[in-house]
Amino acid sequence: MKLLLLFVLVATALLMSAAPVVRGDEGMWLFNNPPRDYLKKKYGFDATPDWLDRVQKSSVRFNSGGSGSFVSPDGLVMTNHHVGADCLQKFGTKEHNYLRDGFHARTHAEERKCDDLELNVLMSIEDVTARVKGAVKPDMKPEQAFAARRAVMAEIEKESTDKTGLRSDVVTLYQGGEYHLYRFKKYTDVRLVFAPEQQIAFFGGDPDNFEYPRFDLDMCFFRVYEKNKPAKIEHYLKWSKAGAKDGELVFVSGHPGRTNRLATLAELDYLRDLGYPFLLQRLNRMEVLLMAFSGRNEENARQARELLFGVQNSRKARVGGLAALLDPQLMARKKEQEKKYRAKAKQDDALMDARTAWERIAAAQKIRAANIHKYTLLEGGAGFQSELFGIARTLLRAADEKGKPNSKRLREFRDSNLESLEFHLFSEAPIYNDYEKVKLADALTFLANQMGGDNPLVKKVLAGKSPSDRAYELVSGTKLKDAKFRKKLYKGGKEALEAANDPMIALARLVDAEARKVRKTMESEVEEVQRQAYAEIAKVKFALEGTSTYPDATFTLRLAFGQVKGYEEDGKHVPFETTFAGLYERSAEHHNREPFDLPKRWVEKKDKLNLKTPLNFICTADIIGGNSGSPVINRQAEVVGLIFDGNIQSLALDFAFSDEQARALSVHSAGIVEALRKVYDADELADELTGRKR
C-alpha cells in the first residue's frame, strides 16, 4: 500500500476479562496463533492447520520492503508495481525507462534478473522465549542485559542456520513479551516477468494517494529460479474465477511493517511532539530536493523517481499519523487503555514487576529525545544521504565485526545475516554520480544545520569545504561504485581498506566512533529499557485479554481478515468497488492531464475492454505499510485481489484499530486478468495465473 493510517477511531472499550478479545475483525495474527475460534463463531470458517500451512508457504516477503505470493507452480510471484519499482528503476537507462514504459517478458528467456532482490518464504516458527529471557538475569544492568540477549539470539540463529541451511531470525514480539525463531527459505535469483506503466499503476499520483475511490493497476510479477530454471513450487495460490464479492469474508497474508498499538502514552507523546515532526522535516526537505533534481531533465527524473515516490508516500502517511496523535478521541482511548492496564498491575501481585513499567518507558523517552537527532544524523545516515557512504560504512564495519565472536557483533553482521549482506553489498546495480552528489551535498548541509557549523565533527567532515564541494570531492574520488573493488576490500579486511586510501571510507571511519557511541546509548538505555518494560506490560495484556491476542507488526508474516464492504462518508455511501469505466471517467474529468493521464495503449485499447469489469475494491482487513503486495484470498485460499493501499481513514491504524471507515484497498483479480488480456496482449501470463493450459 503505501504506508497506511489517520483519524476516525471509535471502537469498543477494552474488556476486563481473561477471555480472548477481538474488536471487530481486528488483528495482524501470527500463523502459529490464529483466531480460529472467532472465525468459526462469526463466519463458520475453520482455518485448519493444512489451510494455514498452505497460505503461509505461499506467502513471500520482499526484503526490499513489501509482500507477495506464489501464484503458479512455476515460481511466479505476484506483488505491487511500487514494490517492484526498485528493480525496474535499476534496469533502466537513459534509452530505456521501464518505470515509465513498463516491462513484459513473453518467454522465460526474456525474464530479467534483478541485481539485489531477495525473497523470503517462512517455513517454520519456533517459540524460543524461555531461552532468550533466561539469558537475562535480574541483577544485570541494561547494557549487560542487552549484550546477553544479543548473544543468545545470535547463538540461536547460528545453530538454526547451521542445522537447517535456512535463513533464521529471532523475532521480538509483544515488544519483548515473546521471542520466536522464524526460518525462511531464501530466493536470490529473482527475475522480472511483467510490470505495467507506472502511470496506470499509480493513476492519480500523489493527489489520490491514500484516497478512495481509486483506479490503480498496481501490480507486478516476478519469477524465482533455482539452478537457473524456474523453481517448482509446492505451495501456491490458485486464481478465483469470480473474484471479490460484496460482503465476502476475505483474508490478507502479508508482512505489515510496524505498529505502535501497545505503546504507552509517554511514547505516543514522544512521537507526537518530536519523532514525527523531525521525520517530516527530513521528508519535506528530501521531497523538495528530489523534485528540483527531477525537474532538470528526463534522465534525472528517471533516476530519482522511485525514491521520490517513497518520500512523498512516507510524508503523506506521517502527516496522517501525526493527525491521529493529535486526535483527542484517539488519545483518550489510549489513556483509558493505559489506566486499565495499570489498575490490573496494581491489583495483581503476580504482575508486581509491571507496576513501574510505564515510568521506565517515560524515562527512556527522555533519553531518546536527547539523542534522536544525533542518532538519526550519524548512525541513521541522514547526514550522509548516499548509497556510496552506506557501502563504505558496511565495508568498514565488516572488517571490525567479522573478527569478533558471532555473539558480540552488531546484529547486521551476525553469521546468520552475512550471506544476505554480501548479496546486497556486491550488487552490480548502477550508481549515478550526479544523483549521489546532490543527495550527499544536501545531507551534509542538513548535518551542519542540525549540529552547528562550528561543531568539531562537522568541521572534520566538511574538511574546510562547502557541502557541495565536499560532496563532489567524495563522490568523484571514491572507487566504491565498482562491485569488484568492493569485493576485494571486503575480503582484504582492514589492511585492504587502509591501502585503498578511499575518501568515502575515510569519511565513514571519521564518524564511526561517534555513530557507534550514540547507537550504544539508544540500544542499552532506550531499546533495552523499553523491551524489559514492555515485556511486563505484555504480561498485563495477557492477563486481561488472554494469550489469544496478536502482537504489534514487525515486518513478519501475519494473517488479517475482514469483509468486502463499502462505508458511509459525509452522508453518502461509498461503494465497495470501482470499474474500468470509472477509470476513464476519472481521467476525462481532469482532461487526461497528469497525474490523471492514461498511457497511450490504454487510450487505444479502450474499446477492447469490458468497462464493467471491477478494477479496485475495499475490505475491512487490518493492514498497514509492508502489506503492499499481499494477496487477498477467499475461504478456498484463492486469489480475489492484491493489496496496494489504504484509504485516508486508515492512517490511524498504527495506533488503534477501527473498521467504521478505515479500509484496505486492493486490485481486483478480475481486473488484473482483463488488463493482461485486453490491454497488454499477455495471454500467456493470464493463462498461467488462471491455470489455463496452453
Global pTM reads 0.94
DSSP letters along 11-73, please? -PPPP-SSS----SS---B-TTS--HHHHHHHH-----HHHHHHHHHHEEEETTS-EEEE-ST
134 contacts 96 by C-beta, under 8 angstroms: no
d(CA 270, CA 275): 6
DSSP letters along 260-320, please? -TT--HHHHHHIIIIIHHHHHHHHHHHHHHHHHHHTT-HHHHHHHHHHHHHHHHHHHHHHH
Tell me: pLDDT of 10 over 90.
no
Spatial CB neighbours of 43, under 8 Å, sequence gap ≥ 6:
249
**pLDDT tens profile 107-137:** 999 999 999 999 999 999 999 999 999 999 9
CATH architecture for residues 36-118+188-259+559-690 = Beta Barrel (2.40)
Task: Quickly state the pLDDT bin for 145 (edges 50, 70, 90).
Answer: very high
The mean pLDDT value of the chain amounts to 95
Taking only Cα atoms into account, the Rg of the chain, rounded to an integer number of angstroms, comes to 25
Q: What is the pLDDT of residue 694?
A: 67
Which whole number is the average pLDDT over 436-458? 98
3-state secondary structure of 410: coil
pLDDT more than 90, % of the chain: 95
**pLDDT tens profile 470-527:** 999 999 999 999 999 999 999 999 999 999 999 999 999 999 999 999 999 999 999 9
For residue 509, the number of C-alpha atoms closer than 13 Å in the C-beta half-sphere is 13
**pLDDT tens profile 389-427:** 999 999 999 999 999 999 999 999 999 999 999 999 999
**pLDDT tens profile 484-500:** 999 999 999 999 999 99
Q: How many helices and strands in the chain, by DSSP H and E? A: 25, 21
Q: What is the pLDDT of residue 295?
A: 97
Report residue 16 as a C-alpha cell: 476486563
Report residue 247 as a C-alpha cell: 460482503
Task: Quickly state the pLDDT bin for 23 (edges 50, 70, 90).
Answer: low
Q: Which residue is associated with the grid cell 557549523?
A: 453
**pLDDT tens profile 273-317:** 999 999 999 999 999 999 999 999 999 999 999 999 999 999 999
Q: What is the pLDDT of residue 83?
A: 97
Q: What is the pLDDT of residue 71?
A: 98
d(CA 467, CA 293): 17
216 contacts 666 by C-beta, under 8 angstroms: no
Report residue 666 as a C-alpha cell: 486492493
Report residue 65 as a C-alpha cell: 520492503
The amino acid sitting at 540 is V
Instruction: Give which of 306, 185, 177 is closest to 235, Cα–Cα.
Output: 185
Which whole number is the average pLDDT over 579-597? 98
**pLDDT tens profile 216-263:** 999 999 999 999 999 999 999 999 999 999 999 999 999 999 999 999
Enter the DSSP assignment of 4.
Answer: -
Report residue 427 as a C-alpha cell: 550488487
Provide the residue ranges of all domains of the chain, joining segments of one domain with +: 36-118+188-259+559-690, 367-538
Q: What is the pLDDT of residue 547?
A: 84
Angle at 344 between CA 338 and CA 348, to 5 degrees: 150
Which whole number is the average pLDDT over 438-449? 98
Spatial CB neighbours of 594, under 8 Å, sequence gap ≥ 6:
205
Task: Quickly state the pLDDT bin for 15 (edges 50, 70, 90).
Answer: very low
**pLDDT tens profile 36-79:** 999 999 999 999 999 999 999 999 999 999 999 999 999 999 99
d(CA 551, CA 262): 8
